[in-house]
A and B are shown apart, each in its own frame.
Chain A
């Protein structure tokens, strides 16, 4: 995204809104991940406490999701950079 045409007031306004979005996005991701890891790891309700196996599963699930989304982000950024480079080449 190109914010170079923004005035400093507009940039400040934009930053504020983006920070708010990041907060809500994070909370949404948190809720989503809770559901995902709960469904993947918790299937036995003979006890109300998390077993050590469930505990480990949840830690792995969380860690793995973070690594997953980092990798997707990296590939996504690369693809976007390629598109931008191609568009620039077409212009010149």
Chain B
């Protein structure tokens, strides 16, 4: 593989495959973004904004567990739907919406 056409910004790659790094970073960013969205969504849906105490109460804890499970399921469902639509539209297009 050649890194020669990568410009001055990436000139110092001593034996580092920048494509591989980029791919890993994209994956990392995707998972991080997904996780942060999950934290935000489940927080606004499950946590009482009165803040009378610092502990998660029983109801909130159960809500969080279910919220995470559902969020994951929704991701899967949306992915499947998008994939089937893309496949239907473009014939045999390889989808990129599989597992994380």
Contact = CB atoms under 8 A, between A and B. Distances in A.
Contacts of B42: 68, 72
Contact of B54 (A18, A25, A63): A63
A23 to B, nearest CB: 13
Given A57-B51, A63-B54, A68-B47, A6 B28 contact: no
Main secondary structure of the interface of A (DSSP, over half): helix
Q: How large is the interface on A (under 10, 10 to 19, 20 to 34, 35 or more residues)?
A: 35 or more
7 contacts: A6-B20, A7-B15, A14-B25, A69-B43, A71-B64, A75-B68, A76-B35
Interface residues of B, number: 39
A30 interface: no
Interface string B49-74: 10111111000110011011100100
Given A10-B16, A64-B55, A40 B49 contact: yes
Contacts of A64: 47, 51, 53-56
A60 interface: yes
Interface string B32-47: 1001101110110011
B80 interface: no
A14 B21 contact: yes
A87 interface: yes
Interface string A31-49: 0100011001100000000
